Amino acid sequence: GGTGLGLAIVCELVTLMQGQLEIASEPGQGTTVQVRLPLAQADDIDEDAAAAPEAEAGQGSDQPAPPTEALLLAQPSAETETSGPSNHSGQSLRILVAEDNATNRLIIRKLLNRMGHQAVLCHDGAEAVATWKPGAFDCLLMDISMPRLSGIEALHEIRKQAGGADLVPIFAVTAHTMPDQVDTLLDEGFDGVLSKPIRTMDLSQALLRCRPESKPVDL
């Protein structure tokens, strides 16, 4: 059995994309799910050019990337996006996000963009450590189960490199949020734990602990 996150993630994605979700279920027959999205027609693309970055970003995986992941992997590894301050405090934060799942990256990026924050997206813990620089970010959102370096390992490495000089809040983002699991993550040094699928209100509350003190740094 799965974790039960699939439908919740789909609902969040459809809502973020201003679409409609219809579900019909019949005992003994199965379930039909229909998604309607207001998408503009895409221009033709150079398939060879688009395939190159995807292949590079997907190294180490034996499985072809799903459509959503292929779309995101065709972009640079460390992606940034912002629409200007629109959160309730009127302050835009620069946030480093480490998440190996393309769907979750899309959700977090859209949520942060809607709040008016700038997100720098990394595909795993090792990339997060390489991207992080002192004074470059106001907050970090860290998935726990990632290839190369786990979220816990990345947290320890970043704290080690900071040497106590740049203790910006680092939040764990995980589906494993039983009380003992949360306590373990807090004991490891995380400043808080956000449950998957991530909710707008939970994210907003966590970001209240972050102050916009980052300065432009060449990444």
Q: 46, 22, 42, 20: which is closest to 32 by C-alpha?
A: 22
d(CA 181, CA 177): 6
Percent over 90 (pLDDT), the chain: 37
What domains are defined for the chain?
Answer: 6-36 (no CATH), 72-207 (3.40.50.2300)
What is the tens place of the pLDDT at every residue in 16-48?
Answer: 777 777 777 777 777 788 888 877 665 555 555
Residue 197, CA atoms < 13 Å, CB-side half-sphere: 17
According to the model, what pLDDT value does residue 44 have? Answer: 55
Torsion over CA: 65, 71, 76, 81 (sign): negative
Coil, strand or helix: which one is 53?
helix
According to the model, what pLDDT value does residue 55 have? Answer: 38
Confidence of residue 4 (pLDDT cuts 50, 70, 90): low
Q: Long-range contact list for 196-199, CB < 8 A, 24+ apart?
A: 196/5, 196/104, 197/5, 197/8, 197/9, 197/12, 197/107, 198/104, 198/107, 198/108, 198/111, 198/173
According to the model, what pLDDT value does residue 90 have? Answer: 57
According to the model, what pLDDT value does residue 2 have? Answer: 55
Average pLDDT over residues 1-25: 70
What is the tens place of the pLDDT at every residue in 167-202?
Answer: 889 999 999 999 999 999 999 999 999 998 888 889
Q: How far is CA 154 from CA 20, 82, 178, in A?
A: 38, 25, 22
Give rounded-to-5 percent helix, strand, coil for the chain.
Answer: 35, 20, 45
